[in-house]
Amino acid sequence: MEFTAKMIADYLHGEVEGDENASVSALAKIEEAKSGELSFLSNPKYTPYIYTTQASIVLVNKDFKPEKPVKATLIRVENSYDCLAQLLTLYQQSKPQPQGVEQPSFVAEGVELPEQVYIGAFTYIGKGVKIGKNFKAYPQVYVGKNVKIGDNVTLYPGVKIYSDCVLGNNITLHSGVVVGGDGFGFAPEKDGTYTKIPQIGNVIIEDNVEVGANTTIDRATMGSTVIHKGAKLDNLIQVAHNCHVGSNTVMAAQCGIAGSTKIGANCMIGGQVGFAGHITVADGAKIGAQSGIDAAITDTSTYYLGAPAIPLKSFYKSHIIFKKLPDLDRQVYELQKQIKELQEKLK
């Protein structure tokens, strides 16, 4: 389908600057867009491309001031990035959605499937499972017994949900996610061996959560591991037993959270951050990539970086000294040599 600049502006409550009849049928990045495609400008880093882009329409913020003529028709909006997200959501919703129950698949006796449902081939739905409206389980999904699933939940291929876990509404779990595997609980014995501690808790994932591919969320030893509403977890994250991830917290790939750690709401956490066990992180904390968090974070007025993590200003000061260490080492060696020579002369 084709959409004109006027139609798009009306939908986004924006203002057209240029040809309101300019039309597009696809979306593309500003540096790669061609005629008939729509793009956007949000990051100032990409501003030079707006003067060379072949896009027919470009979304820009209302405060954008061009320094040279722009060939494309502009649609001025409050936030071009947010508006792009709205258009992408609309595009995604317009695509045909799979429906029905494919075979072979297994749905345990007594499980009631909603009218709008998709069960992909080789999917297993266990005994006592409760499923809400608009449920999608792509091929090779496993849902263990007594799992509770809310409305508008999508499980992509290979998702595994162990028994007794609870999923709220509007949840997306991408391929390979494992929810409810055993926590890493082993008791050391006198002879050096380890005895497994049964993990009898579960995992609760609240509303509006999205979890990236191959992320694992372990069940609690007792009680619940909880991913609170609105949290977004990237790919390849490990959430250990009895952890809590706060509402609207975002976490990039390859983070690891050790057992019983509580991360607050609205935190922003970079990739490959490691959290020690049994610590708390206050609401609103911001942590840079590859940081190591070995103690509680209570001050959220600063950005943390490093391993172990320290406030950003302290990290930069330390890094400056670290870069000078080879020169300082050489200077110390020369001073030691001179001191030794003076001591010999004094003798």
* Contacts of residue 18, Cβ cutoff 8 Å, sequence gap at least 6: 5, 70, 72, 73, 74
Please tell me the distance from the alpha carbon of residue 29 to that of residue 31, in angstroms, as a whole number. 6
Q: Cβ–Cβ contacts within 10 Å for residue 327, how many?
A: 9
241 part of the active site: yes
Phi, then psi, of 109 in degrees rounded to 5: -60, 135
Q: Closest Cα partner for 199 from 147, 141, 240?
A: 240
Write down the catalytic residue from 13, 174, 228, 241: 241
Say how many CA atoms lie within 13 Å of 294 toward its Cβ: 6
Structure token digits, residue 199:
């993990």
Please classify residue 52 by burial: count the beta carbons closer than 10 Å to its beta carbon, then call 0-12 exposed, 13-18 middle and 19+ buried: exposed
Please list the active-site residues: 241
